[in-house]
Amino acid sequence: MPSPVQARRLFPSCSVEEVPVTAVTGEPSGDTAGGPRRTVDEEAPMVARKRSTKAPHNPYLTAATPDELAPANGIAYDIIAERRDLLPSVERIMNAGLDADGTVDVLTLFRCSLTAAGDPNRDPRVAIAACSPASARAVAPTADS
């Protein structure tokens, strides 16, 4: 990289601001006439990033048979065994934070929607919303009705 003085000589019509090399590269300039430079071996090692979150453990992915699984994991295992392409949808349902009964209900809605054309519960977000505690409160009858 030419120094600012060399740049002015090479490109007289261009305006070149004198900026210390440290501000541009983060390294002191050292000897500009070919002085000591860092080689690839001398560079700082790369810092490996740690994952900020781990994926939740889903036993239906690692179980050999559905017999040893809880009911929700057994249904998830059956869905994935039939159609592996539904893994993202099943993972969304399993990681939705519902209780065990709610997860079973959502998976049942989802599995039944796979055979019915046009069923809105095919979208796991719709099935989760249909069985979430907030939707149950919205549908529950009040004392006024």
User: What single string gives the DSSP state of each residue in 35-58?
Assistant: -----TTTSPPPPPPPPSSPPPP-
pTM above 0.85, yes or no: no
* Tokens 């070149």 sit on residue: 16
**HSE, side-chain direction, 13 A CA sphere, residue 138:** 7
Q: Where are the domains of the chain?
A: 59-139
Assign 33 to helix, strand or coil.
Answer: coil
Considering only residues 141 and 75, tell me which one the structure prediction assigns the higher pLDDT. 75
Say how many C-beta atoms besides its own lie within 10 A of residue 78's C-beta. Answer: 15
Say which amino acid occupies 9. Answer: R
User: Mean pLDDT across the stretch 16-34?
Assistant: 53
Q: Does residue 144 register a pLDDT over 60?
A: no
Q: How many CA atoms lie within 13 A of 102 on its CB side?
A: 17
| Percent of the chain whose predicted confidence (pLDDT) is above 70 | 53
Kindly state the greatest CA–CA separation across the chain.
89
For the stretch 58-112, pLDDT in tens is 788 888 888 889 999 999 999 999 999 999 999 999 999 899 999 999 999 999 9
